[in-house]
Structures are given as structure tokens and as C-alpha cells.
Structure 1
Amino acid sequence: MDAVNGARWADTLAVFDLETTGIDVDVCRIVTAHVGVLGASGEVLERREWLVDPGVEIPTAASLIHGVTTERARLEGQNAATAVAEIIGELASAAAKGLPIVAYNAAYDLTVLAREAERYGLAPLPGPGPVVDPLVIDKAVDRYRRGKRTLSVTAAHYGVRLDDAHDAGADAVAAGRVAQAIARAYPELAALAIGDLHARQVEWCRDQAESYQAWRRGNGEPEFTTSGAWPVRVRTGA
């Protein structure tokens, strides 16, 4: 069955995650990356990982999260432009095979990748799509669940093991398995064509951002704004 046009989008998934130099998608750089493929039981069928020399200092705060220092990246890391081109190529190849790309908080990772492509004069990832974002989907189907929605917390909620959070490989695989767990928990989502699920996430992410913005403005931050663009954010100020 074609993974894009068939109803069983969760059977085989491409998974993607980045660890970076910071949180601002317009300026941060890739430090580590993972692109893999999961089978229907969450087994890892393919995996490829990158350690990248971002060409800038890695802030201590970021190193404390993902464990990669500036010194290590310079010594062991791949040239950034080459790595970005390879990451895009792996994701494009997966998409060409009809595999949805799973990324938790996809608008972060895919926007960083788009900005890096622009930075190095590379063609961006086509689309990108179809994309599956377990964060957006979980917030839509279980809107009123209390507590944080980090990958670690959400993975635990769905019974997915994540032993090494903030390792790109561990996070990517966990995100794919969470997507599959959500599909099992909500058969109506599993039955959607992947293109329809992608379109719904565009709407859900916009609605979620509008709701969050209204909440922040109603709680003492009248100028607060946030983007609901998904799966790639509009450049700040654009």
C-alpha cells in the first residue's frame, strides 16, 4: 500500500530530530541530527546521524542539554553545509518513497533546517510534507490534559520509553513511536489519508497558537505574539 495515499500512514515512518545551538529558529545552527525509518512495531529499520561543526560557538546552555561542546564539534563535526545538504537529501528521499516525516514540534526542526539551507545557498526540503507532528496532534485530540507537553512527558503518557532525552536519535525514534501510539489510541486518526492529516495539523497548529497568544495577552502580556505557521514558520519580521 502506498504510504501517502493509503490509510495506514503510521505503519512506516521517517523520523527526524535536531539538536542545535539555541531556540531562535532564525539564527540557531544544527549541532546533531538524526533521520531514520521505523517499521509498524516501532522497530528501527534505517538510521543515519550527523555531528556537525556549526561554525559558531555552541553556548554552554545548549551544550548542557545535548552534550556537545564547541571543542568537540570543531574536532569531530562535519562541515555544516555538507551536513545540511545530506540531511535534506535523506528527508527528500524518504518523502519520495511516500513516508511521512515525523518530528516532535516539527515547526522548530523543519524551520531550522530551512534557515540552514538558505544560509548555505541550498535548495530547501521540498514541501515539506507530509509531516506528522505528535505535539500538535496530541494537543488537538487531548486538549484539556493538564501538565507539560514535552517529548519526555508525552512519551511517558503514551507508554513510549525515552531513556536519553535530547539525543537526536533517541528523540526522533521516540517521536515516531509516540505518533504510532497516538494512531493506536485514536483509530479515526489512523484511518485518515496522510494528506488529510497534514492539512488538519496546519489548522490545529494555527488554532493552538491563537489560543496560546490570547491566554498570554490575557495574563499580563498584551503585546505577546506567536506564530501558528506549520510545518515551517515565517521568518521573524516577514
Structure 2
Amino acid sequence: MSDSFFTPHHVCSFDLETTGPNPRTARIVTSSCLDIDLPESSSADAEPRIVTHNWLADPGCAIPAEATAVHGISTEQAQREGRPHAEVVKESVAHLYAAWEEGRTLIVYNAPFDLTILQHWEPTFEVRGLVLDPYVVDRALDKFRKGKRTLGIVCEHYQVSLDNAHNSDADAWGAAQLAKRLADVYPQLRTTPVDELMALQTNWHRERQQSFQEYLKRMGQDPRTVETEWPLLGPLVQH
């Protein structure tokens, strides 16, 4: 990375829908990468140029009913229409690398989930450029706001439209729009060098997670279930 800066006008927004909530065991069901370009001199209502890349994977296992209820993809549909899981992983990783090579910022909402899944199935995967995580940014810069911080709720708070939530390309588009909105609300996101912005997000996430660990301790609950690394989770510590 260099001393360049984040611009929401040249991004790749990434989202996965999966077989489950554990990034160390979940398999990919759908993967979406949206390459989004908007000239910085454009008017506010200018239409962005969007190139959408979608993958439907056959995860090689049954998709739990709970997961199907979230994203709408059944085991039968994935088996019938999906690509081999390993190919979807490989092509998704290759696209992220290409996006970084083009100087795009990778937008991922709750990056440790999606990126750790990629690394679990492709252990050589690494972060090669700027990641902007609206989940981390919002929690850090509006830390005292009450309520949940799901993508849908945060989009609603910032008046960002999110249609067809839990569809990976819709969620990727919502995250990209949210990142742009956050850059308008918090202009320091545009003026902080990318290396510093990565470090800030790492620290923000760690501090927030550590605070939650302390809360769990006070409640008599196990804090070890809360992990602090960003944008990739570290090795699982056995207790």
C-alpha cells in the first residue's frame, strides 16, 4: 500500500452468502463482487458504472434450513445450478486480487467474516490493498448510538436504500453505498492515508471487541468467544 487515499468512486464491493455463521467452517453459497466507478466530478445523481460478478456455488454439503431461510438458496438449487465450491473460491480470490491491482478499495461489511472464509478455503489468501469496512467505521465513529448494527439497520440509519437484503449482490451494493455515505458524513475517511486507515480500523475493531469482552466478563459470560482481529481472524486458540 502507499500514501494514496480512499475514494468511494473506485471500489470493489464484496459479499458472501454461506452455509452458516462460523467463518472457519462455513462454505460459500453465493459470492458477489461489484466493481463500481463514478467520476469524482459527477453530479450527485450521476449513474455509476457497475460491473457485477456473481457466483453460485455447490458447497458440497447440505445447506441448513436456517441458512436457506436467510438467503433463499436450497441444497437442491445449489447442486443443480452451482459451480464447484473450489472454483468459486479460486475465482473470488482472483477477482479481489485484480481489484486491488486496479487500485480499488475493497468494501466489505464485517470483513473478518467474509475474508476469513476465503482464507479458510484458500490458505494463501492475503489482503493486498485497502479494505474499508462500514461496520467497523460506523461502530467507531458513532459509538454511542443504541441498537443493532446489521447492514440493513445501519443502511436505514444513514438513509441508504437496501433492497433484497441477504442477496449477496444486493448486500454488496448496499455496503458500497453505505461506504460512500460514511465518507460524506466523516470526511476524514477521504483524507487519511490508506496505511493509516487500515491501522485505524484494526485498532477500532480490537478496542470495540475488547470492550465487549469486558462486558461479558461482568455478566459472568465467557469472553473468549469474542475475537478481536481485523480484517482477517487469527488462528483459532484452543481453550
Check conservation: 1:13, 1:101, Cα contact below 8 A: yes
Q: Between the two proteins, what is the percent identity of the paired residues? A: 35
Q: Residue in 2 aligned with 1:30?
A: 28
Q: TM-score, normalised by structure 1?
A: 0.92
Q: Residue in 2 aligned with 1:188?
A: 188
Structure 1 residues 164-173 or 215-224, which shifts more?
215-224
- Of residues 48, 51, 56, the one that matches 2:56 is 51
CA apart distance, 1:8: 4.5
- 1:174-200 residue CA offsets vs partner (Å, 9 max, x unmatched): 101101100000112221122221111
Q: Residue in 2 aligned with 1:86?
A: 91
Matches of 1:234 and 1:42, distance apart in 2: 39
Matches of 2:218 and 2:50, distance apart in 1: 47
Check conservation: 2:27, 2:117, Cα contact below 8 A: yes
Q: Tell me the secondary structure at the aligned position of residue 38 of structure 1.
A: strand
CA apart distance, 1:157: 1.0
Matches of 1:86 and 1:140, distance apart in 2: 33
Check conservation: 2:5, 2:194, Cα contact below 8 A: yes
- 1:86-109 residue CA offsets vs partner (Å, 9 max, x unmatched): 000110000011111100001100
CA apart distance, 1:219: 1.5
Distance 1:93 1:222, change over 3 A: closer
Instruction: Give the gaps of 5 or more residues in structure 2.
Output: 39-45
Are 1:62 and 2:67 counterparts? yes
Instruction: Give the gaps of 5 or more residues in structure 1.
Output: none
- Equivalence map 1:204-223=2 (5 Å): 204-223=204-223
Q: How many residues align?
A: 231
- Equivalence map 1:10-159=2 (5 Å): 10-40=8-38, 43-118=48-123, 123-124=124-125, 126-159=126-159
Q: TM-score, normalised by structure 2?
A: 0.91
CA apart distance, 1:5: 3.9
Check conservation: 1:42, 1:177, Cα contact below 8 A: no
What letter corresponds to residue 156 of structure 1 in structure 2? E
Matches of 2:199 and 2:205, distance apart in 1: 10
